[in-house]
Amino acid sequence: MLQNTRSSQSLRRVICARRLTAMTALSVLACLMTGCGDSAETKPAPATAPDTDSSAPDTSDTASRQEPSENSNAAATTESSETAATDSRVGTDIPESNAKDNAKPAQPAATTGSFSGRVILKGTPPDLPVLARADDENLKDKEVCGMADVPDDSLLVGADSGIASVFLYLRRAPKGFKQETPTEPVVLDQKGCVFTPHTALIQTGQPVMVKSSDAVQHNVHTFPARNQGVNILIKPNDQAGIPLEYARAESEPIQVKCDIHAWMASYHLVLDHPFMAVTDEAGAFRIEGLPVGDYEFRVWHERAGLLERELAVSVTGSDTPVELTYAVDQFTK
Amino acid sequence: MTGNEKTAGLLMCACMLMSSLTLTGCERSEPARWTPSELVTELPDPALQDELNKLVTENSGTASTPQLVTQPNPTFKQQLHLKHGQAVYRKRCVQCHGENGDGNGEAADHLYPRPRDYTRGIFKFTSTPYGARPRREDLIRVVHTGVTGTSMPRFNRLPEKDIKAVVDYVMVLSQRGELQFQLAMEADAAEELDPEYVPEFIEDVVNRWQQAGSSLTQPLTPQPELTAQRAALGREAFLSKGCSKCHGDDGRGHTKDNIGSDSWGYPTRAADLTSGMLRGGQQPIDVYRRIMNGINGTPMPGFKAAFASEPDTIWNLVAFVLQTSNRRRYQEEIPAGLMKPYDTLANTARAQKANAGSEGGAAPEG
């Protein structure tokens, strides 16, 4: 019996080999009858034909020829997911403009203006529990992290309902804008098991120093989409610091974490231009030096994600502060 | 062979062929087929999806004409090599790692840890710095040795030709996935793929993979003899330099807050070093690289900068980790994990005790 199976297997192998090489009429028939994919595989012969694409245009041609099968599938499975922050604009008094391109200064570098205002919360801010209680006996590294309660900084609401830590930025530099990379390093410190500052604005190529003022080890773990992520252990009280570098602009602020103390988080916005701001404790922001023109700003918050994708802003010589109001449920979802 | 036998043989052949095809199908019944990732299919605009898929196909080919982003316009020989790699992959890897290399093969849901998803370009056990792509040799090595303590078996009996081909094919899948991921993130953020910026994304993928080839990390100091004395020093460093914060005082990682998440979105824990199964390899240099560079895509950080002024400490830690890892092999009984929250003062006390030469063990104390 054993012998039998083995021989039938070998026989099958022989036949398979024969089918592949000689392609007898019988095997073709069998293949057609059983729907063996071999015929399917041989069909797109023009695409599989090797050695034809020696130049780039040729390859793209191949690509477009092959596309429909994959794409029809893709289209079929697409779900129309709603885009973030489409109807989130509440009570802005920004002059509406028809700008489709966020980079169309009327007269580049001729005159500049600024964009300023406040971001305001509508509703009662949620009561967020502290992240690390000083009286928690089981707190990790209690003698350092338990010096004081570590508050939840993920939604800071200040005077007159101003929301802190909201990023406002242009995704791309205005056309024709030349970046002058600042040489001044951005310093990220860690004190009492909290990243300070909680948010950082960084330009590509700008030096970043990560320091520690704590007597315990921390690790700095970045989660960029386009840059190379790092995860570095920082020595206790490392004041010399460890340099980080971001080479590419990110499309959104990225999270920076400490895995040892899992509550520690901060956010870096990395862009290849200086037109970005983050709101202060009172929710105020100001971006200066913008060439006069029409722009589309993005507004982002760590709890809400993108609040605005295309906030139309017209920069003229005179600056009219704006008020951006967002409902509290956008921050508690 | 008589004519009759021949006819009988042919008949039998026909029968066998029919039955084998109807019962089992033939091995190559389904041609390989790559599909766009979820990030792509979730894009609201179908036209944008098409554009993205076209770009990915231009650079990575299709499943029937795979090519490396780093090696456009492959020669006929290279194409054959990759097709061979694909055949090996579809025979031995696809069950867990999936047709797209996204770690979603049929068996994936039943495995812990899950099979690696290559499509971010992130591989855990490499000889390159944290965040960098792997060297080809790193991938070859993993195929050779498997990943101890996981479902990844060793394929050291495969012919060298097959291993090289399958690794190159894995690199095709990985580069394709990475490009697709980057473009999908951009398409999602910008709601378009600006032709002005697209080359940047391709360039980035190419640069990252090409740089990996020359970023082999070497130990800061030559490997000394890993003596018991070094292991004792290593233990001290283990308790005082931050390792025990996640791995626990006893190296078992049995602590309540030893839970993080990895780059693929799954929960992950600091390893139980007493398990005897160091996933990144049991050689001193393997352990050294895990400590120096960290482990890609996980909370394990690199200690290179922290130990820059005392590079020998890394070797001490290696000695300690290997000693800990081998404890079971020497029939040493390992007490159950502490399951105790951290107490650095106790750590220090224990470290001092260990320093004084007494075998402190890891008894819980107040």
Co-location of A145 and A50 in the same domain: no
Say if A255 is an interface residue toward chain B (CB within 8 Å).
Answer: no
Q: Cβ–Cβ of B57/A140 closer than 8 Å?
A: no
Instruction: Choose from B245, B259, B342 for mutation: most chain A CBs within 10 A.
Output: B245
Question: Is pLDDT above 70 for B4?
Answer: no
Contact (Cβ atoms closer than 8 angstroms) between residue B176 and residue B123: no
Q: pLDDT of chain A along its 333 residues, tens only? A: 444 444 444 444 444 444 444 444 444 444 444 444 443 333 333 333 333 333 333 333 333 333 333 333 333 333 333 333 333 333 334 444 444 444 444 444 458 899 999 999 999 999 999 998 888 888 888 889 998 999 999 999 998 999 999 999 999 998 888 999 999 999 999 999 999 999 999 999 999 999 999 999 999 999 999 999 999 999 999 999 999 989 999 999 999 999 999 999 999 999 999 999 999 999 999 999 999 999 999 999 999 999 999 999 999 878 889 999 999 999 987
Q: Which single residue is written with the structure tokens 């489709």? A: A100
Closest CA to A149 of A128, A125, A129, A132: A132
Confidence of residue B21 (pLDDT cuts 50, 70, 90): very low
Mean pLDDT of B104-116: 94
Domain annotation covers residue A135: yes
pLDDT number for residue B71: 94
Instruction: Choose from B15, B23, B26 for mutation: most chain A CBs within 10 A.
Output: B26
Co-location of A110 and A162 in the same domain: yes
Confidence of residue B338 (pLDDT cuts 50, 70, 90): low
Residues 175-234 of B with CB under 8 A from A: 182, 185-186, 189-191, 200, 204, 208
pLDDT number for residue B136: 97
Domain annotation covers residue A8: yes
Q: What is the DSSP letter of A297?
A: E
A256 to chain B: nearest residue by CA? B299
Mean pLDDT of B161-178: 98
Mean pLDDT of B7-11: 56
Confidence of residue B258 (pLDDT cuts 50, 70, 90): confident
Say if A66 is an interface residue toward chain B (CB within 8 Å).
Answer: yes
Q: Cβ–Cβ of A38/B26 closer than 8 Å?
A: yes
Please give the structure tokens belonging to residue B361: 């063990």
Domain enclosing residue A20, as ranges? 2-77
Query: How far does Cα B329 stand from its chain's mean position?
Result: 26
Co-location of A66 and A199 in the same domain: no
pLDDT greater at residue A103 or residue B322: B322
Say which CATH architecture domain B228-355 belongs to.
Orthogonal Bundle (1.10)
Residues 270-329 of B with CB under 8 A from A: 294, 298-306
Question: Is pLDDT above 70 for B352?
Answer: no
Domain annotation covers residue A88: no
Question: Is pLDDT above 90 for B361?
Answer: no
Mean pLDDT of B284-290: 97
Residues 70-89 of B with CB under 8 A from A: 72-73, 75-76, 79-80
The ranges of chain B annotated as CATH 1.10.760.10 are 38-213, 228-355
Q: Cβ–Cβ of B30/A37 closer than 8 Å?
A: yes
Q: Cβ–Cβ of A232/B302 closer than 8 Å?
A: yes
Co-location of A71 and A203 in the same domain: no
d(CA A60, CA A66): 10
pLDDT number for residue B11: 56
Residues 176-215 of A with CB under 8 A from B: none
Confidence of residue B23 (pLDDT cuts 50, 70, 90): very low
Contact list in A for residue B261 (CB cut-off 8 A) is: none
Domain annotation covers residue A241: yes
Confidence of residue B13 (pLDDT cuts 50, 70, 90): low
Co-location of A232 and A326 in the same domain: yes
Q: Cβ–Cβ of A55/B73 closer than 8 Å?
A: yes
Co-location of A310 and A161 in the same domain: yes
Contact list in B for residue A138 (CB cut-off 8 A) is: 256, 341
Instruction: Choose from B10, B11, B21, B133 for mutation: most chain A CBs within 10 A.
Output: B21
Say which CATH architecture domain B38-213 belongs to.
Orthogonal Bundle (1.10)
Helix B198-213 to helix B46-60 angle (10° resolution) is 40
Instruction: Choose from B48, B55, B62 for mutation: most chain A CBs within 10 A.
Output: B62
Co-location of A154 and A266 in the same domain: yes
Closest CA to B271 of B229, B230, B216, B325: B325
Co-location of A61 and A173 in the same domain: no
Write down the H helix ranges in chain A. Answer: 2-21, 25-34, 37-42, 45-48, 56-77, 142-145
pLDDT number for residue A140: 87
Closest CA to B123 of B113, B114, B133: B133
Co-location of A61 and A145 in the same domain: no
Co-location of A138 and A15 in the same domain: no
Amino acid at A288: E
Co-location of A144 and A284 in the same domain: yes
DSSP string for B315-336:
HHHHHHHHHHHTTGGGTPPPPP
- Shortest Cα distance from A80 to chain B (angstroms)? 5
Domain at A209, CATH number: 2.60.40.420
pLDDT number for residue B244: 92
- Calculate what percentage of chain B has a pLDDT beyond 90: 76
- Strand (E) or helix (H) holding B77: helix B76-92
pLDDT number for residue B334: 85
- Shortest Cα distance from B76 to chain A (angstroms)? 5
Query: pLDDT by residue (tens digit) across B32-78?
Result: 999 999 999 999 999 999 999 999 999 999 999 999 999 999 999 99
Query: pLDDT by residue (tens digit) across B26-43?
Result: 455 589 999 999 999 999
Phi then psi for residue B14, to 5 deg, are -60, -45
Q: Per residue, what are the HEC states of A203-220? A: ECCCCEEECCCCCCCEEE
Give the list of residues 6+ apart from residue B295 with CB closer than 8 angstroms, or none.
B124, B125, B130, B280
pLDDT number for residue B260: 87
pLDDT number for residue A222: 96
Q: Is A110 exposed, middle or buried (0-12, 13-18, 19+ CB in 10 A)?
A: exposed
Span of A30-39, A273-282, B86-95, B304-313 with lowest mean pLDDT: A30-39
Contact list in B for residue A252 (CB cut-off 8 A) is: 189
Please give the structure tokens belonging to residue B162: 């097959």
pLDDT number for residue B357: 46
Instruction: Choose from B57, B71, B263, B292 for mutation: most chain A CBs within 10 A.
Output: B57
Contact list in A for residue B44 (CB cut-off 8 A) is: 78, 80-83
Q: State the total domains in chain A.
A: 2
Q: What is the DSSP letter of A129?
A: P
pLDDT number for residue B335: 82
B82 to chain A: nearest residue by CA? A50
Query: pLDDT by residue (tens digit) across B135-158?
Result: 999 999 999 999 999 999 999 999
Co-location of A111 and A61 in the same domain: no
CB atoms within 10 A of CB A191: 13
Q: How many CB pairs under 8 A join A and B?
A: 209
Which of B21, B42, B50 comes nearest A30 by C-beta?
Answer: B21
